[in-house]
Structure 1
Amino acid sequence: MVFAANEPHENVQTKQTSGPWPQGDTNMSITVYSKPRCPQCDATYRALDKQGVSYERIDVTQDPESLAFIKGLGYQQAPVVVAGEDHWSGFRPDRIKAVAAAGAPLALQA
């Protein structure tokens, strides 16, 4: 399986379908496709949390349709972040900051 639990995360891929993001795009949904025990996934969650961005987590080891979706986008490693019509693979703090600056929906504070 491509997304093995201890798989190294080398050769980070980036694919951009559009961008930069429109300013104030509060309808942009953010989804992080990840797997267990994934350091880059954890770093991505922390960075999104730090920016206060709302996102959905999907564990591709438990969701075959989601795994097929990200493979269909051409990705072979986790995490894969889909932000609106843009997507990338790996821990990308620059992209996370850009999404936050574009006005992605903010997480509700408890």
Structure 2
Amino acid sequence: MVVKETFGGFRGAVAEGDVDAEARGEGPADVGVGALLAARLYQALGMALLVIGAQGAIRRLVDHDNAGLLSWLPGGFAASITVYVLAVVIGAVVAGWAHDARKAAAD
């Protein structure tokens, strides 16, 4: 899985599936630099998707004739506003997930 390979820097008993290891104080020994960089990259990409989607949705709501980046998309107003809103939601979820992963990797 791509996410597991990207954030594969986790080591220790917790990463191996021992759920009681954290209670005994045996947390991950090392998270590696790659996990932090990947989380920052995903956070930046998520924020970019969120901003592009929000800007496009606002533009489309204000000026129904200006489809912006999605002018090639068939389906008119409903299709383009749906895609822009989906971009906002997906961008927010990816950025939030990456932010939490980065905070967890840094601790």
Give the strand-richer structure, 1 or 2.
1
TM-score between both structures, scaled by the size of structure 2? 0.25
| Higher relative contact order (Cα pairs below 8 Å, separated by 6+ residues) | 1
TM-score between both structures, scaled by the size of structure 1? 0.25
